[in-house]
Amino acid sequence: MIGSGIAGLSYALEAAEHGKVAVVTKSVAHEASTAYAQGGISAVISHLDTIDEHVNDTVVAGDYLCDEKAVRALCADGKSAIEKLVEIGTRFTKAEELEEKNKEKEKEEEQNIQTGAYQGLHLCREGGHGKPRIVHCDDMTGKEVERALVEATRKHPNVTFYEHHACVDLMTSSSSSKMTLMSSSCALTISAMSTGGPRPDSAAVALAAATADADASRRFTTGGALM
């Protein structure tokens, strides 16, 4: 697995249930674009909300240019994604916690957080959304999600981290071995960034890359210096 953000570590945790996983990242594991994402995650987790409403809000906000099948798939999977993040230890802000901090706030705001959400999570309503459905951890959601994912991944016995390493080369070859999960295999050469010395090639039956390339393609970004 190349990359240690929300996509890379989520994949690593799933894949680790089926075999050994190496996570390669060019800095420390938590230094990823994910950690710099302040906003929350939209998901239908309240009994006062529906997937159809979420889909409609998204399509309208996208000026009807969105692929509706893709939008519906994302909206339908939102709740299970939040449940998985909570299960691994992500500490999202809860409604009761916010009420204690903001007892003097207007009545309308107090009503907005009483949404019957999963595990009493606080839901924000942001631009384009017709219902409160933004799960968050104060205004540092990405940092908290990354913390939980890194901790959960480090604890898994099938995951090995290669921090401060860069991917140098990828070699592929075909085989029809019944012992592998796929019909092709690959070998990845990685290099320690501090010494520049190559490590032995690592053979794998599958390789995935989640490297925030969109961030790296821009001169100015909020994604951090290492992106």
- For the chain, the domains span 6-35+145-216, 39-139
| Segment of 57-66, 110-119, 202-211 carrying the highest mean pLDDT | 57-66
* Average per-residue pLDDT for the chain: 81
CATH code of the region 6-35+145-216: 3.50.50.60
Percent of the chain with pLDDT over 90: 52
Q: Residue 194 has what pLDDT?
A: 53
Which pTM value belongs to this model?
Answer: 0.79
**Residue range 138-145: average pLDDT?**
94
Given a cut of 60, whether residue 109 has pLDDT beyond it is no
Tens digit of pLDDT for each residue in 144-154? 999 999 999 99
Q: Residue 135 has what pLDDT?
A: 95
**Residue range 121-128: average pLDDT?**
90
Which helix (H) or strand (E) is 101 found in, with range? helix 95-101
Return the closest-CA partner of residue 25 out of 159, 155, 200. Answer: 159
Place of tokens 């890379």: 8
SS3 122: coil
Q: Hey, how many other C-beta atoms are within 10 angstroms of the C-beta on 96?
A: 10
Percent of the chain with pLDDT over 70: 71
Given a cut of 80, whether residue 91 has pLDDT beyond it is yes
Return the closest-CA partner of residue 37 out of 137, 136, 140. Answer: 140
pLDDT interval class at 117 (50, 70, 90): low
Distance CA 47, CA 94 (A): 16
Q: Residue 183 has what pLDDT?
A: 33
Tens digit of pLDDT for each residue in 158-200? 999 999 888 777 777 655 433 333 334 455 556 555 555 555 5
Q: Where are the beta strands (DSSP E) in the chain?
A: 21-25, 41-42, 123-124, 134-135, 159-163, 165-174, 184-192, 202-204
pLDDT interval class at 113 (50, 70, 90): very low
**Residue range 85-111: average pLDDT?**
73
- Specify the higher pLDDT residue, 127 or 7: 7
**Residue range 28-45: average pLDDT?**
91
